[in-house]
Amino acid sequence: MKTKFIFVTGGVLSSLGKGLAAASLGALLQTRGLSVTIQKLDPYINVDPGTMNPFQHGEVFVTDDGAETDLDLGHYERYLDVPMSRKNNTTSGAIYNQVIAKERRGDYLGATVQVIPHITDEIKKTVLSLAEGEDAPDVAIIEIGGTVGDIEGLPFLEAIRQLRSDLGRDNCLNIHLTLVPYLRCAGEHKTKPTQHSVKELLSIGIQPDIILCRCEQSIPQEMRRKIALFCNVDQDAVFSSVDVDNIYEVPLKFYEEGFDQKVAIMLRLPARNAHLENWEKLVHDCANPQGKVTIAIVGKYVDLKEAYKSLHEALIHGGVANRVAVELRYVNSENVDERNAATLFKGCNGILVPGGFGYRGVEGKIAAIRHARENLVPFFGICLGMQCAVIEFARHVAGLDDANSEEFNPLSDHKVIYLMTEWFDFRTKNVEKRNAASDKGGTMRLGAYPCKILSGTKAHEAYQKALIEERHRHRYEFNNAFKESLAQKGMVFSGTAPDDSLVEIMELPDHPWFLGCQFHPEFKSRPMQAHPLFREFIRAAKQHATS
Ligand code: GLN
């Protein structure tokens, strides 16, 4: 097996940025010419995060193959620019599901099924699956969710402990990310939490090779020596992960610390120089914008920014591509109505309505869209945002007063957005999924679908392509029964399924930028290559700001 494994655990507390650290290390190894993948192991019991409330868990990231995954996979894709798949995220729930299914089939031949070895073996299988096949990566980074000491994380830790002896010392590396707080009154860094956390790891048989210390400011040498001594790691294996203003600085900071160099030496990876020009340019461009645009995000989850993680990043990428800083103004859609829209959106150069579920706040989104359409403010609607744009147009331009989505008013006479059961047959590979989908997880159109782009439209101007692929996550669709009447009033359907069965993009030509898409373009935006729709949306906002 050529793949080397790096396991990343977290200590002391959550939210230390393990995902970003894993992604940044991955990016650095890539700049050394190595192929890298990252896998997230989540200790919770949900089979996937698809059914979890975004308020609690943040965004659900969707992969090309239709997996609903942890938002850290978004970081992995953005930093590595490698598509993630179902393989890159698993949970305790999914592992137990597999083991129980096997037990029911009789695969264990009468054995007592136990956490060790059956659950741990299943975890090991999932991890090792990354190293299979011809295109197996040089390095697989495995991020273990949660914090060391959590009861539910134990089987995962036991599995990685075993993997180290299975695969050999030269092929595995354990990195432990901890918090080293700086006590202002004492004027020094405190290492005790780190010592406790490492002790916890040692008690289950894992000796970390590298300690990565999350801290406000770089940790002085003598402190590093102290941590090395107490935690039993090499003197030069203690690194700082300092707070940064811009998350894309993390790879550069790690490089300055010599973090990737140490990893490469310990894993005996071929010695090659890192090429960081792209990252340096990105950070430089972020820090030196030539203007500013203000974008309003009108949604329901405005109190938890994590719920719009990829969206937030994609807008920043659009800003980098246009050399402007993007200031985001989160507006709670429940507070918007026709009367206050002008005041609420004063000074905004663009209005974006993101995806969402359920009726709450929908009328506010429609009011915001009306404001954007009538006042020629650039508008971008994503998934539910596109559906709301269609409803708004049907109501106020086509005169269908009760136009609505079947999701919000199943009794409406004008269900311009509806539940289309036939879509399942649209791509044969999904037929199986439909038959298996008897409950809430599994009834959505998920993953990548092709979309044909009409030339001479804003969508075509952005993509410069006749055929694209974008990722979906929704149940409802545009109702083709209204296609002709809305087209007569000026709506252009610039993106459709190749056989015309589904509307994927709509736009209004006599507006600086008014475009809605049924898919989620934010999942495919990259810091060094903004998604074309975000790039063009911010370009329009920039024009709005300067006009
Ligand atoms: N609730 C809508 C649907 O299910 C939109 C979903 C979304 O925005 N992701 O079709």
Helix axis angle, 362-374 to 384-396, nearest 10°: 70
Question: Which of 457, 409, 446 lies closest to 424, judged by CA?
Answer: 446
* Maximal CA-CA distance, the chain: 75
Quote the ligand 1 centre to 443 CA distance (angstroms).
12
Helix, coil or strand: residue 175: strand
Residues 94 and 51 in one domain: yes
Residues 327 and 268 in one domain: no
* Amino acid sitting at position 74: G
Q: Is residue 26 part of a domain?
A: yes
Q: Is residue 246 part of a domain?
A: no
Q: 4 in ligand 1 pocket by Cβ < 6 Å?
A: no
Residues 338 and 309 in one domain: yes
Q: 357 in ligand 1 pocket by Cβ < 6 Å?
A: yes
Which tokens sit at 516?
């809605």
Q: 475 in ligand 1 pocket by Cβ < 6 Å?
A: yes
- Name the DSSP letter for residue 511: S
Whole-number Cα distances in Å, 123 to 119, 135, 153, 203: 6, 21, 12, 20
Place of tokens 């590979």: 429
The catalytic residue positions are 383, 520, 522
Q: Is residue 312 part of a domain?
A: yes
Q: Which pLDDT does position 436 carry in this prediction?
A: 45
Q: 354 in ligand 1 pocket by Cβ < 6 Å?
A: no
Q: 50 in ligand 1 pocket by Cβ < 6 Å?
A: no
Residues 518 and 408 in one domain: yes
Mutate which of 387, 418, 449 for ligand 1 pocket (most atoms within 8 A of beta carbon): 387
Mutate which of 308, 310, 357, 470 for ligand 1 pocket (most atoms within 8 A of beta carbon): 357
Quote the ligand 1 centre to 485 CA distance (angstroms).
23
Residues ≥6 apart with Cβ < 8 Å to 132: none
* pLDDT tens sequence across 48-77: 888 787 777 789 999 999 999 999 999 999
Q: 68 in ligand 1 pocket by Cβ < 6 Å?
A: no
- The low-confidence residues of the chain, meaning pLDDT below 70, are 421-442
Burial grade of 183 (CB within 10 A; 0-12, 13-18, 19 or more):
exposed
Q: Which pLDDT does position 171 carry in this prediction?
A: 95
Q: Point out the domain boundary residue: 231, 262, 280.
A: 280
Q: Rounded CA gap, 388 and 369, in Å?
A: 8
Q: Is residue 313 part of a domain?
A: yes
**CATH code, domain with 88:** 3.40.50.300
Q: Rounded CA gap, 349 and 292, in Å?
A: 10
**CATH code, domain with 410:** 3.40.50.880
pTM of the model: 0.93
Q: Rounded CA gap, 213 and 16, in Å?
A: 9
Give the total residue count for the chain.
547
Nearest residue by C-alpha to atom 7 in ligand 1:
355
Quote the ligand 1 centre to 242 CA distance (angstroms).
38
Give the other-Cβ count within 10 Å of 285's Cβ: 17
Mutate which of 476, 503, 520 for ligand 1 pocket (most atoms within 8 A of beta carbon): 476
Nearest-atom number in ligand 1 for the CA of 476 is 10
* Full domain range(s) for residue 17: 4-172+252-280
Residues 342 and 261 in one domain: no
Which tokens sit at 529?
């290559």
Whole-number Cα distances in Å, 276 to 79, 259, 268, 271, 286: 13, 14, 21, 16, 16
Residues 172, 141 contacting (CB under 8 angstroms) = no
Q: Which pLDDT does position 423 carry in this prediction?
A: 56
